[in-house]
Amino acid sequence: MALNVIKISPVRPATPSLSPVILPLTFFDLLWLHLVPTNRVIFYKLTESSSSRDSFHSAILPKLERSLSLVLAHFLPLSGHLNWDPQAPKPHILISPHDAVSLTVAETDADFSKNSTKGIRPRKELRALVPELPVSSYSSPVMTLQITLFPSQGFCMGLSLHHAVADGKTVVKFLKSWAHICKHGAAPRDFDLPMVLDRTVVNVPAELEAKISRDKASVARSVSLHPAAEETDDLVKLTLELSHEDVEKLRERARRESTRSDLPHLSTFVVTYAYVLACVVKARGGEEEEDRLVPFMYVADFRQRLHPPVPVNYFGNCVLPINFYGYKATTFSGKDGFVNGVEILGDSIRGLSSRGAEESLWELYEEGLKWAEPGTPKVIVAGSNRFGIYGSDFGWGRPVNTENTSLTRNILFTMSERRDEIGGVEIGMCLKRCETDVFVSLFRNGL
């Protein structure tokens, strides 16, 4: 139940400029222009006394609002709008002096423990905790927020953000900065705030910038989003975990099963993705579907791959989708499925490091324009086990759970660090109920 919608403006200088700021989208931003919004929920457990209605509205909510206003001054584009004038060659972010972020304050009598569990539950239970992002054809707010109180239990923070404005690393930096200001009253020194908004620090060939602008404009001069997957009763959200010991077992298994002497670096990301990929393929098809194509994708951070490198405190997207379209289900469904995935992903990451950035950008962008067979879902990973999202402590302890709840027509799974163990991984997925039992069984018994 929504109680109120508050507009939170960034703290401005004593003599603020009355002129709007216009930030053009870069090549990396345009890649994600029509993708479904980034949706995230973060659950915080409170004591019974601090989560009473009176205590929440008199102490906790004002502190969250004030710190949000302070942090937005360091992340100004989040209070702006993404616009595309039909006469302009490409979209831009418009930051006006009186912009504000919409913050919905809500309350629910639902069970906090049930909603914040890391197990399996209907996805619809999470949907009400995420605010809508009101996108029109030519304009969209960059971000909307929602704080939902579970009286005498805790609260949930929900976020919806247009992906063309910021990638996962930028979003997590915003959340951790907001948390630090709320808890300590000042921004974290090691984050080098405010964020860098200068687009010239992203050194991409001008011809490539022009090409992607033409490609997007030729379809539609619009910031509207691709339709999300239909919200149905048979969709469930599940969170599974790999302990540090499990990850080490997967590394040893890859070394044992591979026949190659030049096995790529067995990072936690590579062995986890390969394991999830093999489990998904096995769970979704029988022998008659072994010849079906299995497209899949990960994203590569190009901040340190460009010349010169992009500043660590740059605001925006700087990741590129790395697509695979030519592999069949049989590659991952047999006894060598896991190690095949390890070698394919590991070789790809190693190849990025060995090629020049400009060559990689052109080749990988062209590869991404290919399409798999219509209706073929792509396995996509979002997030990272290196972001440190569980470090978002606003003063009431670390989150008990946090999840990406974006719903796409592909098979999206998310990866983050485990809350209570260094070296472990959390995997979040949304599957049809009929697929869930098979996938979970494969995941838990395949180690």
Helix axes 206-219, 357-368, angle to 10 degrees: 10
Please, which residues bridge with residue 368 across strands? none
- What does the alpha-carbon distance between residue 159 and residue 129 come to, in Å, rounded to a whole number? 9
DSSP assignment of 326-343, as one string?
Answer: S-BTHHHHSTTHHHHHHH
- What does the alpha-carbon distance between residue 140 and residue 81 come to, in Å, rounded to a whole number? 5
| Residue 4 dihedral angles phi and psi, to the nearest 5° | -165, 155
163 part of the active site: yes
CA angle 77, 300, 356 (to 5 degrees): 110
Amino acid at 106: A
Please tell me which residue in 192, 246, 336, 393 is annotated as part of the active site: 393
Collapsing DSSP states into helix, strand and coil, what is residue 293?
A: strand
CA atoms within 13 A of residue 131's CA, in its CB half-sphere? 28
Sheet holding 319-324, edge to edge: 120-122, 235-242, 425-432, 411-417, 379-383, 296-301, 319-324
Please tell me which residue in 74, 81, 92, 163 is annotated as part of the active site: 163
393 part of the active site: yes
Question: Could you tell me which of 393, 413, 396, 392 has the C-alpha nearest to residue 404?
Answer: 413
Catalytic site positions: 163, 393
